[in-house]
Amino acid sequence: MRKYSLDYVWGFIFKNSNANETDNDVSEVSDPPVSSTDENTERGNWANKREYMLSMVGYAVGLGNVWRFPYLTYKNGGGAFLIPYFIMLAVAGLPLFFMECSLGQFSSQGPITVWKVVPILQGVGVTMVLVSALVAIYYNVIVAYSIYYLFASFQSPLPWSDCFSWSNEKCGVTPKDWCNGSTANGTVTMVETTWLTDNNETCPEGNIVSIPVQSPSEQYWDLVALKRSGGMDETGEVVWYLALSLLLGWLLIGASLFKGIKSSGKVVYFTATFPYIVLLILLIRGVTLEGSREGIEYYIGTQSNLTKLAEAEVWKDAAAQIFYSLSIAWGGVMTLSSYNKFENNCYKDSIIVCMTNCGTSVFAGFAIFSILGHMAHVYGKPVSEIAQDGFGLAFIAYPDALSKLPVSPLWSILFFFMLLTLGLDSQFASIEVITTSLQDTFPSVFKSKGSQLTVVTCIILFLLGLPCVTRSGIYWVTLMDHFCGGWVLLVAAILELIGLCYIYGGNRFIKDIEMMIGEKTSWFWLWWRLCWFFISPCVLIVILVWSLLTFSNPTYGSVVYPSWGLSLGWCMTAFFLVWIPVCAVWKVLKAEGNLYQRVKMACSSTEDWGPYQERHWGERYQKRHCYWRKNSLTLSNMDACVITNIHSIKV
Euclidean distance between CA atoms 450 and 436, whole angstroms: 9
Residue 310 known to bind ligand:
no
- The amino acid sitting at 402 is L
DSSP 586-616: HHHHHS-SSHHHHHHHHTSPPTT-S-SSGGG
Residue 631 known to bind ligand:
no
Residue 422 known to bind ligand:
yes
DSSP conformational letter for 569: H
Euclidean distance between CA atoms 444 and 446, whole angstroms: 6
Backbone angles phi, psi at 210, to 5 degrees: -95, 120
Q: How far is CA 380 from the centre of its chain?
A: 37
Residue 58 known to bind ligand:
yes
Euclidean distance between CA atoms 336 and 108, whole angstroms: 9
Q: In what helix (H) or strand (E) does residue 650 lie, and over which residues does it extend?
A: strand 649-650
DSSP 439-501: HHHSHHHHTT-HHHHHHHHHHHHHHHHGGGGBTTHHHHHHHHHHHHSSHHHHHHHHHHHHIII
Q: Calculate helix-pair angle for 506-517, 346-379, nearest 10 degrees.
A: 90
DSSP conformational letter for 166: T
DSSP 296-318: HHHHHSTT--GGGGG-HHHHHHH
Residue 207 known to bind ligand:
no
Virtual CA dihedral for 435, 441, 443, 447, nearest 10 degrees?
A: 10
DSSP-assigned beta bridge partners for residue 188: 182
CA 472 → CA 233, 237, 448, 560, distances in Å?
8, 9, 40, 13
Virtual CA dihedral for 564, 570, 572, 577, nearest 10 degrees?
A: -160
Virtual CA dihedral for 52, 57, 62, 66, nearest 10 degrees?
A: -160
Residue 305 known to bind ligand:
no
DSSP-assigned beta bridge partners for residue 238: 470
Residue 473 and residue 235 in contact, taking contact as beta carbons nearer than 8 Å: no
Burial class from Cβ neighbours inside 10 Å (0-12, 13-18, 19+) for residue 290 reads exposed
Residue 21: count of CB within 10 angstroms of its CB: 10
CA 391 → CA 63, 113, 136, 147, 438, distances in Å?
10, 36, 17, 14, 33
Q: Calculate helix-pair angle for 408-441, 274-287, nearest 10 degrees.
A: 150
DSSP-assigned beta bridge partners for residue 191: 179
CA 572 → CA 218, 224, 481, distances in Å?
31, 30, 11
Q: How many residues does this entry show for the chain?
A: 651
Euclidean distance between CA atoms 238 and 461, whole angstroms: 16
Euclidean distance between CA atoms 460 and 458, whole angstroms: 6
Most distant CA atoms of the chain, gap in Å: 122
Residue 36 known to bind ligand:
no
Q: What is the torsional sign of CA 130, 390, 322, 482? A: negative
Q: Known binding site for Na(+): residues?
A: 58, 60-61, 65, 325, 357, 422, 425-426
Residue ranges at the known binding site:
58, 60-61, 65, 325, 357, 422, 425-426
